[in-house]
Amino acid sequence: MPRKSVRQAINEALRQEMERDDRVILIGEDIAGGMGAPGDKDAWGGPMAVTKGIKPAFGEDRVLDTPISESAFIGAAIGAAATGLRPVAELMFIDFIGVCFDQIYNQAAKFRYMFGGKAVTPVVIRTQYGAGLRAASHHSQSLYPVLTHIPGLKVVVPSNAYEAKGLLIQAIRDDDPVIFCEHKLMYDDEMEVPDETYAIPFGEANVTREGDDVTIVAIGRMVNLANQAADNLAKQGLTCTVVDPRTTSPLDTETIVETVEETGRVVVVDEAYPRCGMAADIAGLIADQAFGALKAPVKQVTAPHAPVPFSPALEDLYIPSVERIEAAVRAVADYGQSAAAE
């Protein structure tokens, strides 16, 4: 099977869905490049070149470069979705969502509910999140918990190229507004990705490792770090189950609770801020639904409650690391063991 990067997988998903359904259009800043100016019409393909080559293939009517006005083009995409198109908008950085947030949380998210289930809003908002690119506090946040908070939105945080393609195809075919969050450090990560089209259902977690001792629930890029931690610990005789929820809304509580019931010990890993973040949310639902199975307190590994630092040294410390995940797993694995021995 051919190997593809996350960038290629997303590009291929967009092309294949545009091929399949001519209602699918792309809209956003610099997604082709050269807005309104003479010259190259495929200059950029977005800041990470994810949409490169799509404008020449599908034409100017279906790949729309916009002025730098998130409230205008996100609003336009939502309106187009409400009236029959299936737009995929690119919000360059999730950090800019404040500019267009009313359109998303108080309009798109409410249409189905407020119009008696008769309105559909099949819009996808692709956006970059995450720290590690030395891009400072304005371009490095993991804000998907803010969107997960809003009923009516679906929120996808893929963990690799295979997942990204299948989840994006599902997002485009979904009739509800979907926020699709891509980690900016993962665009070059490669793996085997089928050439064919496939959709990964929302709300079905993926179990990437199976173990007996500790459950690690991790979001997005953190899944890969959790897998590394699990592989390292397995060599030392401590085995972990790793759960990738894939979508934070809807959230597959069933799989999370089932795996917690098997191990009784849990670490939740999330790059987002800790207050009202995914780690706190998942720890809360485990306390609510699987308290009887717990043998140790649920441990959270997150960023600190602080903006992402620009100093490279501080940024590296800020992001949850494999070492921190391993230490947390050891802590919950040891909990109660030493006390019993004393």
Catalytic residue among 138, 139, 149, 183: 139
- For the segment 181-200, give every residue that binds another protein (CB under 8 A): 194, 196-200
Secondary structure class of 164 (helix, strand, coil): helix
- Of the ranges 25-33, 139-147, 207-215, 283-291, which one interacts with another protein (CB under 8 A)? 207-215
Q: What angle do CA 187, 272, 336 make, to 5 degrees?
A: 115
Residue whose tokens read 């690799």: 160
1 vs 313, which CB is nearer to another protein? 1
Question: Residue 269 CB, nearest distance to another protein (Å)?
Answer: 20
Tell me which of 40, 210, 231, 323 binds another protein, using CB under 8 A: 210
Side-chain-side CA neighbours of residue 66 (13 Å): 19
Q: Listing from the earlier edge strand, what are the strands of the sheet with 178-183?
A: 63-65, 24-28, 86-93, 124-129, 178-183, 154-156, 247-249
Which residue number, 17 or 182, has a Cβ lying nearer to another protein? Answer: 17
Binding another protein (rule: CB under 8 A), the pick from 118, 235, 275, 305 is 235
């709300």: which residue's tokens?
A: 203
Nearest Cα neighbor of 200 from 231, 222, 232, 172 is 172
Quick check: 255 binds another protein (CB under 8 A)?
yes
Contact set for another protein, span 145-164 (CB under 8 A): 162
Q: Which is nearer to another protein, 196 or 342 (CB)?
A: 196
Q: Whole-number minimum distance, CB 204 to another protein, in Å?
A: 6
Q: Give the binding range for another protein (CB under 8 A) out of 51-59, 206-214, 315-323, 328-336.
A: 206-214
Length of the chain: 342
Minimum Å gap between C-beta 254 and another protein is 9
257 contacts another protein (rule: CB under 8 A): no
Give the nearer residue to another protein in terms of CB position, either 154 or 209: 209
- 36 is written with which tokens? 């309104």
Please state, in angstroms and rounded to a whole number, the distance separating the CA atoms of residues 23 and 28: 16
How far is 216 from 145, CA to CA, in rounded Å? 18
Report phi then psi at 110, rounded to 5: -100, -15
Q: Which residues 164-183 are close enough to bind another protein by CB under 8 A?
A: 166
- Rounded to a whole number of angstroms, the CA Rg of the chain reads 20
Q: Does 291 bind another protein (CB under 8 A)?
A: no
Question: Of 71, 206, 232, 289, which lies in the binding site for another protein, with binding defined by CB under 8 A?
Answer: 206
**Closest distance to another protein from the beta carbon of 164 (Å):** 14
**Residue 190 or 336: which CB sits closer to another protein?**
190
CB 108 within 8 A of CB 60: no
Q: At closest approach, how far in Å is the CB of 262 from another protein?
A: 10
Q: What burial letters (b/e) apply to 80-98, b meaning 16+ CB within 10 Å?
A: bbbeebbbbbbbbbbbbbe
Toward another protein, which CB reaches closer, 128 or 227?
Answer: 227
- Strand ranges in 211-260 using DSSP code E only, listed in sequence order: 214-218, 240-244, 247-249
131: helix, coil or strand? Answer: coil
Task: Say whether residue 207 binds another protein (CB under 8 A).
Answer: yes
139 is catalytic: yes
C-beta of 78 vs 205, nearer to another protein: 205
- Residues found near another protein in the complex (CB under 8 A): 162, 166, 194, 196-201, 204-207, 209-210, 235, 255, 258
Residues with active-site annotation: 139
